[in-house]
Amino acid sequence: MRTRLAGLALSSAVLTALAGCGLSGTDSSDDQVDVTGEIKGTVTLQTWALKPKFTDYVQGVIDGFEEKYPGTTVKWLDQPGDGYSEKVLSQAASDELPDVTNLPPEFALPLAEQGLLLDVDQADDKLREEYVAGAVASYEYAGLTGVYGYPWYLNTDVNYWNTELLSQYGLDETKLPTTIEELVAQARIVKEESDGKVHLLSRMPSVEDLTKAGVDIVSSDGKEFVFNTPEAVAVLDTYRDAFAEGLLPRNVLTDAYLGNMELFKKQQVAWTTGGGNSINTIKVDNPSLAEKIVASPAIGTPPLYTQGLSVAKGSDNLPAAVALARWVTNAENQAAFAEVVPGIFPSTVATAEDPQFSESDGTNAGDAKKIAFTSLAEAELLKPVIVDQAMTDFINQQFSLAISGEITSQEALDKAVEKCNELLNN
């Protein structure tokens, strides 16, 4: 399942067509939309690459809806994984957007900007009461008022530590780092004790790290990037100094870098991050390593990865569309989906005490799952969805130059902000 989500790539042709559907940047929440009325008739539900693996589950949810609301018929559309964002935008440009559509926050953004999605916060007075706050906030956008999707299933990251390497190189698994400063300090111990053969810290900083440090990435109106601050400089300086000291692998800035998780699987580093089900994935590649792993909560604010269902504002059957979106994302149906798909979690407040998620079976995998689930209450979308892939690539390039010492951290941030604003305005 998609727990980490690709950036939105939009062709100029589709964007031009979509612009004809509404006014860019329109605050559609000012338009009152009546979602009351009898729940009956035909309503369309579009999902993203759930057939055939999850056909039985989704069809069961649909059957339950039609049984609960006699006189309704759900037409289920399922689109392939590749090119999904382009498909949705083409539907919108052709005035064929389904009544209810599976959209992660970054896919919903351009539709919300064009006034094509229903503000479900306005339409549903129980939204904030029944769904996890961070998940609801995923569908709030700078410069727009409203919430443009019902949260569906979630994931987050936790820390994974190789206890054998920690012990071998002088660290105590009962005193794991909880701050970046503690992480760097313990990385120094591992580097010294292993003569540089093993590392604890093995990844570059990202936009998410700036957010964790309290840096605003985008202005409150969503019109410009503003992350070239002293606090952001301090984050990059921390990594620059660590790199200069040899606390990170030398190839972390090159194409030869395998990635934090791959190095962890090879037991070349003692720490990585991953979803709540990552131990079971590691077991496939390195069964003996999986036995040595202990999990802990993410350092700082946990990241939030969200999937959701958005309702088309122009739906001909809004009462049924809203009811269907709520039905698919209710506590019971979400919990059942998480049973079918290990590693995802419900977005409903009602499942907070569900022992399926809130209790461990005593294994390290069970502990990781519990930690991930309980972290969701504090998890946030750390990278604004307005940050697209082109922006991310340029930011990472500038961060690499700063970490290597080729330019200062302030220069890197200034250039990144300038480029991101240029891309945003274009």
pLDDT single digits (tens) 52-100: 999 999 999 999 999 999 999 999 999 999 999 999 999 999 999 999 9
Chain centroid offset of residue 218 CA: 17
Contact 231, 172 (CB under 8 A): no
pLDDT at 21: 45
Mean pLDDT of 180-205: 96
pLDDT at 185: 98
Q: Residue 232 pLDDT > 50, yes or no?
A: yes
pLDDT at 25: 42
Spatial separation of the C-alpha atoms in residues 358 and 348, rounded to whole Å: 13
Count how many Cα atoms sit within 13 Å of the Cα of residue 179 in the half-sphere of its side chain: 6
Contact 238, 231 (CB under 8 A): no
Cis peptide before 70 (omega within 30 of 0): no
Q: Could you give the percent of the chain with pLDDT greater than 90?
A: 88
Q: Could you give the percent of the chain with pLDDT greater than 70?
A: 92
pLDDT at 31: 63
When the pLDDT of each residue in the chain is averaged and rounded to a whole number, the result is 92
For residue range 260-304, list pLDDT tens digits in order: 999 999 999 999 999 999 999 999 999 999 999 999 999 999 999
Match 């000291």 to its residue by tokens. Answer: 245
For residue range 343-392, list pLDDT tens digits in order: 899 999 999 889 999 999 999 999 999 999 999 999 999 999 999 999 99
For residue range 134-188, list pLDDT tens digits in order: 999 999 999 999 999 999 999 999 999 999 999 999 999 999 999 999 999 999 9
Spatial separation of the C-alpha atoms in residues 331 and 172, rounded to whole Å: 39
Spatial separation of the C-alpha atoms in residues 420 and 224, rounded to whole Å: 8
For residue range 6-32, list pLDDT tens digits in order: 333 444 344 444 544 443 444 444 567
Mean pLDDT of 110-127: 97
